[in-house]
Amino acid sequence: MNTSSGNALDSNITNQQTNDGPSGFGYTAAVARYFEDHPCPEGTGRGRVVRVDRNLLLVAVADGLLHLPYPLSGEAAVTGDWVWIGPNRAGDRQILAVLPRRSELSRKRAFEDSSAEQVLAANMDTVGVVVPVDRPLTHNRLERTLVAAWDSGATPLVIITKADLAQIADDVVGKVILQAAGVDVVTTSAENGDGIDELLAHIPAGGTIVLLGPSGAGKSTLINALVGREVQHTGEVRSGDFKGKHTTTSRELVPLANGTVLMDTPGVRGFGLFDAEDGLGEMFGDVEELAGTCRFSDCGHGNEPGCAVREAIDDGVLPERRWKSYLKMQRELAALARRSDVAAQRAYYREWHQKVVSVGKSQRWAEREVAEQREKAGGKRRKSR
Given its phi and psi angles, is residue 308 left (phi above 0), alpha (psi -120 to 50 degrees) or beta?
alpha
- The stretch 79-100 carries a mean pLDDT of 90
Q: State pLDDT tens for residues 332-343.
A: 777 666 666 655
Instruction: Read off the pTM.
Output: 0.68
Report the distance separating Cα 30 and Cα 18, nearest Å. Answer: 9
Report the distance separating Cα 211 and Cα 194, nearest Å. Answer: 18
User: What angle do the packed helices 320-340 and 342-384 form, to 10 degrees?
Assistant: 120
> End-to-end alpha-carbon separation of the chain, Å?
110
- The stretch 289-300 carries a mean pLDDT of 85
59: closest CA among 35, 31, 85?
Answer: 85
State yes or no: pLDDT of 249 exceeds 70.
no
- The stretch 291-309 carries a mean pLDDT of 85
Selected residue with higher pLDDT from 233 and 317: 317
Phi, psi of 325 (to 5 degrees): -65, -40
Please report which confidence band the pLDDT of residue 6 belongs to, taking 50, 70 and 90 as the band edges: very low
3-state secondary structure of 2: coil
Q: State pLDDT tens for residues 179-224.
A: 777 889 998 887 788 888 899 899 888 899 999 887 777 788 888 8
Distance of CA 33 to the CA centre of its chain: 27
Q: State pLDDT tens for residues 115-151.
A: 566 788 999 999 998 888 877 777 777 888 888 888 8
Of 59-68, 103-112, 267-276, 308-317, the poorest mean pLDDT is in: 267-276
82: closest CA among 127, 126, 30?
Answer: 30
Q: Which residues, at least 6 apart from 58, have a Cβ–Cβ distance to it below 8 Å?
A: 49, 50, 51, 52, 65, 66, 67, 252
Distance of CA 91 to the CA centre of its chain: 40
HSE of 327 in the Cβ direction (CA atoms, 13 Å)?
A: 11
pLDDT score of 154: 92
pLDDT score of 142: 83
pLDDT score of 370: 61
State yes or no: pLDDT of 10 exceeds 70.
no
HSE of 217 in the Cβ direction (CA atoms, 13 Å)?
A: 26
pLDDT score of 101: 95
